[in-house]
Amino acid sequence: MATQTRQIVRRINNVRHVRQITKAMYAISATQVIQRKRALQAALPFSERSPEFLGELWASAQAEGLSHPWFEKGEGEGIALLVVNADRGLCGRYVGEVNRTAERVAKSAGQVKLLAGGEKARVFFRSRPWEIVASYAYAYDRPKLADAERILEDVQALFPKGVEEVHVVHMSFQGELRQKAEQTRLLPIEPPSVAPREILAEPEVGTLLDIAARVHIAGKLLRILLEAKASEQAIRRQAMKTATDNADEMLERLTLTYNKARQHGITRELADIVGGSEALREGR
């Protein structure tokens, strides 16, 4: 019985230790969600206005007989697929959903060149049959425009000469309680259809279109990274809250089991004492 109670005490101590970790991670994630949401909200005005501006510029460029390779399918075969995943675990369904969605997209596309965003994506796809042409492990914990531009440089090396299209699989942040793994086409650009109008541009429209297209894609990538990180922290917070609650329930059950075992041991010891006392009395 003493061995059993020691084992229960050891389990209780282990669960308490795990609970301390999950509770601390929950508090950290709760703070991180707020910070990531603020960064995402700061980026929204540009990402919402950029397609409209680019559509007007593209319409004017077409009216002048100009073209741009980023607005047409690439000359290569297959697609380039950027997978935006986490660098660390303990974030619930996040890692699995993103990787499964990316694998499904890759299987349906056939010929794929992968850009693995995050250590979890790199580890998952290194044993798969698709070529990883770039990886960004531990590279954008707090996404900035420079991170998006770095990814854009690798995308430019593949499109339009190497692949037909560029897609991104990422977690879309739709609220603190709702996140969804999505596939987004990055290139070629599909600007909204607008009527062409006369634009006074400096520099000329072709050069301005090239600059605007690059800024638009960089902004779109930045928003994707920000949404992914906000989603990761929101899901991690949910997972750590669930883990802490489960630890509390387990502690209750183990404590009850310990008390029962201890009480049973005390009862047995009392019974032994009473039995011994009775035996001594009868022996007189």
What does pTM read for this prediction? 0.86
All domains of the chain in start order, with CATH? 2-21+239-271 (1.10.287), 50-237 (3.40.1380.10)
155 contacts 76 by C-beta, under 8 angstroms: no
Strand partners, 81: 114, 167
- Token pair for 69: 């390779």
Residue 65 pLDDT level (bands cut at 50, 70, 90): confident
The pLDDT, as a whole number, for residue 167 is 97
Q: Does the structure show a pLDDT above 80 at 270?
A: no
Task: Calculate mean pLDDT across residues 262-266.
Answer: 69
Tokens 């995943």, residue located:
85
Give the pLDDT confidence of 193-211 residue by residue, as tens digits.
Answer: 877 777 766 778 888 889 9
What pLDDT is attached to residue 218? 95
Backbone angles phi, psi at 77, to 5 degrees: -120, 150
Confidence of residue 139 (pLDDT cuts 50, 70, 90): confident
CA distance linking residue 69 with residue 250, whole number of Å: 60
Query: Is it the case that residue 271 has pLDDT exceeding 80?
Result: no
Span 206-220, mean pLDDT? 92
Residue 251, pLDDT > 70, answer yes
Whether residue 47 has pLDDT greater than 70: yes
Q: In the predicted model, what is the mean pLDDT of residues 274-280?
A: 61
Tokens at 102, concatenated: 């990316």
Count the helix, strand and coil residues of the chain and give each as a percent rounded to the nearest 5: 65, 10, 25
Pairing outcome for strands 79-84 and 165-173:
parallel
- Please give the mean pLDDT across all residues of the chain: 88
